[in-house]
Structure 1
Amino acid sequence: MAEQRISLTRTISAKPERIFNLLADPGRHALVDGSGTVLSARSGGPERLSLGSTFGMSMRLGLSYRITNTVVEFRENELIAWRHAGGHRWRWELRDNGDGTTDVTETFDWSTSRAPKALEFARIPQRNLRAIKASLRRLEAVMTA
């Protein structure tokens, strides 16, 4: 069986702490979303994520909808990942290069999805690969602005 995750890495001129603070703030996720589907964080969620946090997002993919995510992996300034009811995960890993830059890896992991074959049939992984490229570019633009 083929691996059911896709990842891309980009070196960004910012320290991991600064990048992580953005990723741990659901209110800022729309700034870096390369898919164009994340509109905003819903009110009532945490301002800063931690392991086990749940947070809601207002989304749009053709139609508007809402989704609730749960943080399932968390290491301060190194790793954050969340999943929603569909089971698949978005994961961000940060590696400090020691020179003011950080290698940022974003991963879409559908190995934990409730319907991995349906995602593959709908070509979601390929679409998400394009979105990851755009997200990493947007993250870099925000960090270097």
Structure 2
Amino acid sequence: MTGHVVKQTIDIEAPAEVVFDLLTTPAQHVKIDGSTTVRCLRRGPARLSMGSPFTMSMRLFGVPYRVTNRVVEFEPNRLIAWRHFEPQRWRYELEPVAGGTRVTESFDYSYYSRLGRWFIRLLGWPARNQRAIAQTLLRLKADAGHRTRDASR
């Protein structure tokens, strides 16, 4: 965790195009979500781009709800980030490395006011999100790896 950004990095044995395809296909997010709160895509495009809105069905502490996100950062095969009505951003940065792609996922809550950041920490979201990010990256690695192996057959 750095300042008001919770992040982790993993190397994935898959090209950036494969990883980015998973991240920009919101219907696939339930497969890679390490928080286990994402249930399904309710509304949105088949593939995300800059400015795309998409609504996900979620469940937290047994309570169902919906969240509409909007893509706020986008660079093909390199970067995607989205946010909803709150100012935090979920960001994925991709970097080519020998044998695949280095992926850094982050939960950036620096956009909140000082009081908002204090409240986020009080609720324990940085630690929860740190655990969820670790699981998401492992799921992303597994799924992208399967797709890469399947495509080479």
Q: Same fold (TM over 0.5)?
A: yes
Aligned twin of 1:107? 106
Q: Deviations over 1:86-140 (max 9, x none)?
A: 111100000011x341000000001113622221100001000000000000111
Aligned twin of 1:65? 65
CA distance in 2, matches of 1:64, 1:113: 25
Question: Counterpart of 2:106 in structure 1: which amino acid?
Answer: T
* TM-score after normalising by structure 2: 0.89
Q: In proportion to residue count, which structure has more helix?
A: 2
What 5-or-longer segments of structure 1 have no aligned partner? none
Q: Superposition RMSD on alpha carbons, in Å?
A: 1.2
CA distance in 1, matches of 2:46, 2:9: 26
Aligned twin of 2:51? 52
Identical residues among aligned pairs (%):
46
Aligned twin of 2:150? none
Q: Deviations over 1:42-66 (max 9, x none)?
A: 13x1111111111100000020000
After TM superposition, where is structure 1 displaced by more than 3 Å over at least 4 residues in a row? none
CA distance in 1, matches of 2:48, 2:89: 15
Question: Counterpart of 1:48 in structure 2: which amino acid?
Answer: R
CA distance in 2, matches of 1:123, 1:35: 14
CA drift of 1:6 comes to 1.1
Aligned twin of 1:19? 19
Secondary structure of the residue aligned to 2:129 is helix
Q: What is the aligned length? A: 142
* TM-score after normalising by structure 1: 0.94
- Are 1:140 and 2:144 counterparts? no
CA distance in 2, matches of 1:100, 1:70: 32
Q: Which piece of structure 1 moves more, 123-132 or 99-108?
A: 99-108
CA drift of 1:79 comes to 0.1
CA distance in 1, matches of 2:112, 2:88: 4
CA distance in 2, matches of 1:61, 1:121: 18
